[in-house]
Every structure is written in C-alpha cells, then in structure tokens.
Amino acid sequence: MPPPWSFLPHIPYPPSRDGYWSPVTSTLNWCEEDYYATIYSAEIVNTLTNLLFMALGVKGFLSCRRNGHDSIFQVAFCGYLVVGTGSFLFHSTLKYPMQLVDELSMIYTTCLMCYASFSYSKPTGFRIFLAIFLTSLAVFITLYYHYLQDPLFHQNAYGILTAVVIIRSIYTMEVTLRPRWRHSTEKDRLARVKQGLPVPSKERQHYENVRDSKTLKTMWFMVVFGLSVFLGGFAIWGLDNVFCSKIRGWRQKVGLPWGILLEGHGWWHVMTGFGAYLYIVWGIWLRHCLNQRQEEFYLWWPHFWNIPEILRANDIHKSENGGTKKLN
C-alpha cells in the first residue's frame, strides 16, 4: 500500500555535501541536513526563517522612532535584529564565531530588557549599579561560556534571565493596573483625603478602573499568547533534537518541499521570534501605562495573526463596528 503522501508532487532530497563554509567549527549542528540545497548555506531553512527576526526587528525599531517610544526599546529592537542576523550567519556557515554572535546577542538583548524592567523610576545611583551589575553579568556569561563551550550553560543562562524579566514585568503590570492594588477603593480615597493628598473624583476613578481593567485583560492575553507561542517553539525544537534521526527519515520519504514543514529548529525561529517581539511590544505599552500616558497610545492588534504595534492614539481610526484601522 503506498504511503498517504505519495500523491503529492515532490522531489527527492539531494544528498548532503561539503559547502562553501566547510568545515563545521561550531559546537552545535542541528537536525537539518547540511548543504543539501546550496553550497552557500549550510542549513537553508534554519537560515531563511531568521528573516522573520530581521524584518520584525526593523519594523519594531522604525515603529519606536515613528511613535516616540522610549529609547531603551529602540536599543532592544536593535538587539533583537542582531539576534536574527547572528542566527542567519550562524546557520549559513556553522562557524564558531557566528555561533557566539547568535547566542551571546540573545543574552545581551535580555540584559537590556532586564535593565528596562528594573530601572524604571529608580534613583540614578540604583540605575548605575544595575547597569554595572548587568554588564558584569553579561561579560561573565560571555567569558565562562567561551571557556566551557557548553550549549546547556548558555541555554540555562538565557532561560533564567528571560524568566526573571517576564516575572518582573508581570508584577509591575499587576501593581500598576489592577485596581485593587492601587489607590482606587473608597477606603483608600478617604485615607488620601485625610492625608491631604490629591484624590480623583469618583467618576474619574471609576473611568480609570474600567480602562485599566480592560488594558490588563488585553495584556494578559498578550502574555499568555506570547508565552504559548514561545514555549511551543521550544517544545518543537526539543522534539527535533530527541527524534532527529526519525524526523530525517520522514523528510526523506515526503521529499521537498513538504519536508520543510518538519524542520523543528526552523519552527523554533518563527515561533520564538514572534513571541519575543510580542514581549517587547508589551513592554512598550506597559511603560506608557507607568508614565500615565495610556490615553496617548493604543495597541493596534485587530486579529491574533496580525503583527501588533503600539501607535499614537491619533493614528488609530475606530470604525463604527468597534474595530480599529491603522492610518498610514
């Protein structure tokens, strides 16, 4: 009995061969066969999927400049672009220096986001200390990783830093926007009146509570959706590592172009790239909320398959049916 995919038009996989960048000097070599498509790219799918990283990095950087977002996020998107570019070069060449550019830029960009998360509204002395600490940490990770040349060390360091940044951002989001965590109850209002502190009217406070509750709901969707995409990509990558020989056999059977869909590390690039982009956009929106400027900016994300963006409120047209349209 022929296999169920036999009716699909396909071409056999060309054999692996030496390429322009041979020999391999990286400490990692992924499940994709080397140089089967072109001698100029060791892993063609793993290389080209980084174009999403690079495109989103440029898009995010230009959006920050166009909409006046804090400069730390422009730097973060530059780091994001370097991650995609480094990964493009690494998978094209499988050379150790390009591997370092790929992996260490992930650490540096996460350290930047860590600084953005912990330095907000802190005194100058604390910001200087935090900058020195994170720079020292990045240097230590760089030197120790180069000494060990153990990918697990890099993956664990990146995972811990990412978890710290996300947990801190979630805490900040809840404390800033959840009505019960700030001065929004009647008891709090009376206490502020007795202390002679400014108190918004009940109507204004109700408006802010409703507004911030809606914002919080959307932000939580971004967090859950982004983490699901990110961790889903990580899971696919893990399966790609564990079952590499079997997956390679499946790819040989289905042929090209269908075998491209079984490139697990390529899916990791696409899914983690989008998940990381979502996190930076969430960070931009959260920063505007911290600055009490949420009336001036709006999340443009009409459907979950669109690329979200934080725009100035005057760049958004609300349609009659409640949807939104970006004005160019």
Residue list for the binding site for Ca(2+) = 30, 32, 43
CB of 175 closer than 8 Å to CB of 182: yes
Of residues 87, 109, 70, 65, the one with CA closest to residue 276: 109
Of residues 202, 114, 224, the one with CA closest to residue 158: 114
Report d(CA 138, CA 161) in Å as an integer. 11
Report d(CA 272, CA 295) in Å as an integer. 30
Structure tokens at 23: 């020999």
Question: Residue 12 carries which DSSP code?
Answer: P
Structure tokens at 270: 């696409």
Report d(CA 94, CA 53) in Å as an integer. 19
Which residues sit in the known binding site for Zn(2+)?
91, 265, 269
Which residues sit in the known binding site?
30, 32, 43, 91, 265, 269
Report d(CA 289, CA 217) in Å as an integer. 14
Burial class (CB in 10 A: 0-12, 13-18, 19+), 59: middle
Report d(CA 207, CA 198) in Å as an integer. 17
